[in-house]
Amino acid sequence: MWIEPKELLLLLPGLWTGEMFSKYFVLQKRRGHGESGGFGSMLVGTFDSVMSTKPAPYRILHQTPSSEISYEIAIATTQDEIVKDWEWLQVNLFNVLNEMESEEEVTNFTLCKIKSLFAQNNQDDPGESADFKVKTSTFKSIFKMPEEERLVNTYAATYVKNKIPRKGHLYISLNHICFHSYMLGQEIKRIIRFAELEDISRHGNIIYIKTTNNMQYNFTLIFDASEAHSLIEQLNKMAIQQLIQNPESPVVDHDTSRLTRLGAANTKNSKKPVLLRDLTARQKSEEFRVYFRLPQSEIIDGKIKANIYTPYSKRFNSGHILLSPNFLCFRSDVKDLVSVVIPMKTIKSVEKKDDGQQRYDNQIVIITSENVPFVFAQIIDREVLISKITDLLSRIHIPVSRERAKYDISWSKQTALMNTFKTNFSAEMQKKQEEKLARWDSHFRDFGRGIGMFRTTDVINLIVEGIPDKLRQEIWLIFSGAIHDKEMNPGLYEDLVEKAACIKDCFAHDEIDRDLPRSLPEHPAFQSPDGIAALRRVLQAYALRNPQVGYCQAMNIVTSVFLLFCDEENAFWMLASLCENLLPDYYKDKVVGAQIDQGVLNELVETHLSDLHEHLDQLGVIKMISISWFLTIFMSVISYESSLHILDCFFYEGAKIIFMIALQVIEWNRDKLRRCQDDGEAMLVLQKFLEGIHNPDYQVPPSTDKRKTERTQTQTVQTLIHEAYTKFGEELTQQRIEELRNKHRRLTMRQFDIDNEKTIVKAFVDNPYFERDELHMLLTIIREEKMALKSVQQQQKTHANMSEAPSFPQSPARAAPGDSSGARHEAYCVNYEVFHTLFNELTPWRKCTTVDIGEKLFRLTDKKSTGVLDFGQIIHALGLVCSSKYTEKLKLMFILHLPPLLSKSEVERARRPRPRNKDDAEEAIEAEDFFDDDPSESIEALPSPSDHNFDADDYALVSATQHMYNLAGISGHTFRDPLRTPNLSLNSNASSLPAQPTRASTFYVDLPSDLAAGGASHGTTNTRADAGLDEDRDIGLSQQGRHESIDTFSDISDLGAAKLTPPQPTAAEQLMLNVETISNFSQISDLVATTRMERADSNNTDTRSLGSLGYLLDQPDDSSSNRRLLPHMRKENFQLLWRSIIEILGCVQDEEMRRAYENMIEMGNSNIRKEPSVESFTQLNLGGSGDEQPDRNGNPTTSAAEPTSTTRLFIALEEELRQAALLSGSESISSGKPTPPSSSNASSDSYGWNISISQFIATVLSVPTIVKGFITRTNILEQIELLQKKRRKCLSTNY
């Protein structure tokens, strides 16, 4: 891109190599970039990294033959970009320049041209300097960040690791802090997500960061350390807030367009990147908004120094005018001296005024609709300000109350309830109210009234004494800022009320109804239907307005007080402003905001009442007592009359007053608290004290409250407030509270995670695969991976574009309210992408590249096809793969390679990989042809139920094989293990465990045929098939009505649970013992006969249950599912399976493996010859399915029908094995065996070829290499740590 031409005196030829030359121009490439290695480039790399200026790798220089000076005119990060610029020069400049006479002319012309190009380009692209663009692209390429991640700024920094300082750069982007350094061939990268920061602090130039993984970093910044620090704080705050807002998509995405900044803040002069300026502005804007209590949409637009004339003191006060789209505000430099808020829409005129006074020139006078003049003076940029105000005024949008259709209004807006339910003040009280009223009146005369009043410390003094009842509504509305929201949304409240009234059967409404009589029951207003109805309307309307909050207990209590003094609509807007501005996040799920503030209070106690803190902390008191203080602004703990005064102050001060009062209360009870032995005692002390707080200025006749008589009066509320202000008012500033909140927001969210993790681990600790600490790590990595930018964005993408590869329907129903454990686990559900990443990063099966095992496993595990796996499913999926249970692992391998998990088209593709660029349409056609040609491949033809009891047969087979090997003199010790495998029950759902102890799990694959066709073409014809797939799947499922019958057991868990010894280990052991004494085959066959189950008849309706997409349904009630139907495997799939096994083992096939392979090929061939209905399909009964099983003692059941069939199979197997052994022995010598999966003739003779899981397992288990390869347990902890390290250091992953 073109840049402002820069003079270069030093060309440093060593650093650059010329790529293209012309008479006046040269295109250069920086050494150290790209391929050209060598020491030189390494040095340049170091140099670049250490120097703060990081040049772009390409540039174009303009030079003239006789001049010493060169001009840098263009830079770029990629060759393409720079070549484009070069070509432009070629086309537009070369000829022109050649015709010029003097070199000087050439240079002038060139520079002029380039400048104009630069200016032109930068018009549509505001602000971002070329330099920064380079940095951005460097950042993305170094840290492999996705395009969406935006860099905010970079800082030269030193990272000290192992006492060795590394000089480099700190890159701060919206979601990450990254560090990069490259020194003498050593590259260091660090990536830290903002959401994972646990601690941030700065000491001088050093920024210290600690993550939730307990990783600690120290960065030393020579310049701008404080800027970087506050930037980190801000982005961390944004990240955590986003996490609270939307835990499923915790990525900060900053939308700059919201900030349409106008002139005043000069963008040109600032050299800071746009985004940084934007964030700074946002921060300022936030402070501004909070200070003046403006609506959330208000963004600061400019700030100008000015003096305001205050008529009450008859002088000018220095300060700043702040402008936002709808407001003009003034804030004095002296804290709290005076501030003014003028809504733009009330401005009638803005005039210049010069009365000749030297000191206060440059005046403007603003007159509002109430004819109140505001005089500002000494405005240096007066013209700018006026034009800006004019501009803002012209854009102002005054919402008009829409012409609302007259719904049948069965309600009318309730006016302040105190009007109807008058407080019976005694004469004395009445007089006090009058006095107060008079003082307020005189205050209004001096300082103005309404929104535009001069806000000074005088008003605080009045408020502290308690606002008179008649003025409460007015003052509360103004100081809470609720009035602005109300004025901007006329008619909204009525709409909400009416909409809410139409909602039936709403959980929130039930909760509201239950709490209506429990809000302010002592007040007569809420003993009457009018009060109750108004309260209901307000709460329901708010639940509708803000579904994220809905209804939270405590809202009823505060709202009822609002309703006493304000009309219904005002009460609603005050509630809105309470929930959204004054007490942020307080009423959300887990009352997170209040919990954060508890943390803040705890820290404040530590600072201000340090002697007490340790004791209280030990008792755990603060956590326990203060939640109601925050949520109800003391209204549930202090008597109503007294808490009104606190509420008055609250609207003026915000949450600060809660902290002040809390500290004061604790301090007053210091000695008593110190004597407390336990939490209950401390609670009682504070409870008593708070109940005793009374208000002599507002005594209602004692009859209204019975409890009051018991109270021993402790303090007056006036003293409480006064003392609190004196002791803590100065030290507690809004800013300090914000800072502490940032810190505790992090800690609280972290604590939630920890608690959550603990609970989940507790629930899953009985799983058969992972230890407690492994579960913890697994949860950690799941959380981290889920939050990783890439996965989140991928997720968003798939949402937007469902046709993009494997898509799954969204999870249908979220956990119902009340099901807290469901919600808790939900945080650790993963979608396909995350699972796939985890699978590839953590398990040993990632080595399998031909077949995407991760995808198969996901589909198998996700039996409800929700597109997400819960943690239990993840444990079982990953656990089995990482375990040492090799038989189960091999079985799983077999299943994963069955259609439809491994579809025909995939097999086809894997066998002859096609060039990627092939036309999709063509592929689709091919796929279709494929199915036409080979009808046998379609679902119906595939499995038929079979009749062998897997367990018994399998045992027999294994035993027999072992025996054979024993006979042959091969050590059989590896075979004992499966026989001993304990019969663990690993149901993923612990609570259902006692319900069905003898549950029969069916390995049962089911899908209607059209579905499977979709499934088969899946991946080949992406768009079409996927779209169809989802639909079909849903239809298919609903037709079969299987949704409901799916229970909570995970398939994988079934697989794991259904060890080879389903009934009980003792039987197996007995078997094994027997095996050792067996001396001939007839004994084996007897054994088989006695242990096998009754043969199950084929049930043809079940055959088309094709299995697909990993539905292994579990239907204990369905009689046909009492047996497990596992289709046999076809040759193509088998070959891939074999290849996968070899890939997983990561070694060359040895003799035994080859032999086993050939045996199985042979076995498959011989299966063709057999009667298909009897022998080509095997039923697997993996779990104990009841009466047919041998009984508990391992005694075989006597009802062994048709023992011959099994025996026959068995003998045949024996024979085959023997033959194969002979054969392979000779064959392997005669011909170099082709490697199995590549066999080209496979398809021709594959028709009818199949192999059963029993055959497969029995054979494979006889190969020591495979057993050895699969028996190894993967240490998941190591793998996770490795992955975390990779992520942290941005190392590439190989898979």
Interface with another protein (CB under 8 A): 213-214, 511, 514-515, 517-522, 552-554, 556-557, 588-591, 595, 620, 623-628, 631-632, 636, 677-678, 680, 683-684, 687, 706, 752, 754-755, 757-759, 761-763, 771-773, 776-777, 780, 817-821, 884, 974, 977, 991, 1268, 1271-1273, 1275, 1277
If the CB atoms of residues 391 and 977 are measured against another protein, the closer one turns out to be 977
Kindly tell me the burial class for residue 1169, based on how many C-beta atoms sit within 10 Å of its own C-beta (0-12, 13-18, 19 or more): exposed
> Six-digit token pair at 177?
């802090």
If the CB atoms of residues 626 and 1149 are measured against another protein, the closer one turns out to be 626
Residue showing tokens 């460097």: 138
Measured between its terminal Cα atoms, the distance across the chain in Å is 36
Q: How far is the CB of 763 from another protein (least distance, A)?
A: 7
Give the residue among 97, 159, 148 at the shortest CA–CA distance from 800. 148
If the CB atoms of residues 80 and 710 are measured against another protein, the closer one turns out to be 710
If the CB atoms of residues 87 and 678 are measured against another protein, the closer one turns out to be 678
If the CB atoms of residues 46 and 626 are measured against another protein, the closer one turns out to be 626
Distance of CA 959 to the CA centre of its chain: 50
- The answer to whether 988 touches 1241, Cβ cutoff 8 Å, is no
Q: How far is the CB of 281 from another protein (least distance, A)?
A: 35
Prior bond to 529 cis, omega within 30? no
DSSP secondary structure string for all residues of 51-113 = SS----SEEEEEE-TT-S-EEEEEEESSHHHHHHHHHHHHHHTHHHHHH---HHHHHHHHHHH
CA distance 973 to 988: 32
Q: How far is the CB of 587 from another protein (least distance, A)?
A: 8
If the CB atoms of residues 561 and 902 are measured against another protein, the closer one turns out to be 561
Q: How far is the CB of 57 from another protein (least distance, A)?
A: 40
If the CB atoms of residues 1169 and 1273 are measured against another protein, the closer one turns out to be 1273
Q: How far is the CB of 1147 from another protein (least distance, A)?
A: 14
Q: How far is the CB of 407 from another protein (least distance, A)?
A: 31
CB pairs under 8 A, 24+ apart, for 268-274? 271/129, 272/153, 273/127, 273/128, 273/129, 273/132, 273/151, 273/152, 273/153, 274/126, 274/127, 274/128
Q: How far is the CB of 160 from another protein (least distance, A)?
A: 21
CA distance 392 to 99: 53
CA distance 695 to 464: 13
Q: How far is the CB of 581 from another protein (least distance, A)?
A: 20
Q: How far is the CB of 627 from another protein (least distance, A)?
A: 4
If the CB atoms of residues 637 and 1160 are measured against another protein, the closer one turns out to be 637
Sheet holding 58-63, edge to edge: 2-8, 70-76, 58-63, 25-30, 16-21
- Sign of the Cα torsion 73, 79, 81, 83 reads positive
Kindly tell me the burial class for residue 672, based on how many C-beta atoms sit within 10 Å of its own C-beta (0-12, 13-18, 19 or more): middle
CB half-sphere exposure, 1169, CA atoms < 13 A:
7
Q: How far is the CB of 636 from another protein (least distance, A)?
A: 5
Q: How far is the CB of 1096 from another protein (least distance, A)?
A: 34
CA distance 82 to 602: 58
Distance of CA 913 to the CA centre of its chain: 37
CA distance 1082 to 952: 16
Q: How far is the CB of 810 from another protein (least distance, A)?
A: 24
If the CB atoms of residues 3 and 693 are measured against another protein, the closer one turns out to be 693
If the CB atoms of residues 589 and 1034 are measured against another protein, the closer one turns out to be 589
- Amino acid identity of residue 913, one-letter, is P
Give all strands (DSSP E) within 818-872, no chain letters.
830-831, 868-869
- Sign of the Cα torsion 763, 765, 770, 771 reads positive
If the CB atoms of residues 383 and 773 are measured against another protein, the closer one turns out to be 773
Q: How far is the CB of 616 from another protein (least distance, A)?
A: 13
DSSP secondary structure string for all residues of 1001-1044 = P---B---HHHHHHHHHTTTSHHHHHHHHHHHHHHHHHHHT-TT
Q: How far is the CB of 647 from another protein (least distance, A)?
A: 16
Residue showing tokens 């509420």: 647
> Six-digit token pair at 119?
């200016």
If the CB atoms of residues 519 and 1098 are measured against another protein, the closer one turns out to be 519
Residue showing tokens 């389903």: 1062
Give the residue among 1018, 1014, 987, 1295 at the shortest CA–CA distance from 1143. 1295
- Read off φ and ψ for residue 161, nearest 5 degrees: -130, 130
Q: Which residues contact 490 (CB under 8 A, 6 or more apart)?
A: 399, 400, 401, 402
If the CB atoms of residues 728 and 752 are measured against another protein, the closer one turns out to be 752
Q: How far is the CB of 984 from another protein (least distance, A)?
A: 12
Size of the chain, expressed as the number of residues it contains: 1295
If the CB atoms of residues 81 and 511 are measured against another protein, the closer one turns out to be 511
Q: What does the longest C-alpha to C-alpha distance in the chain come to?
A: 124
Give all strands (DSSP E) within 575-667, no chain letters.
none
If the CB atoms of residues 936 and 991 are measured against another protein, the closer one turns out to be 991
Q: How far is the CB of 931 from another protein (least distance, A)?
A: 44
CA distance 1173 to 1184: 25
Q: How far is the CB of 645 from another protein (least distance, A)?
A: 19
Neighbour tally for 1167: CB within 10 Å: 23
Q: How far is the CB of 910 from another protein (least distance, A)?
A: 30
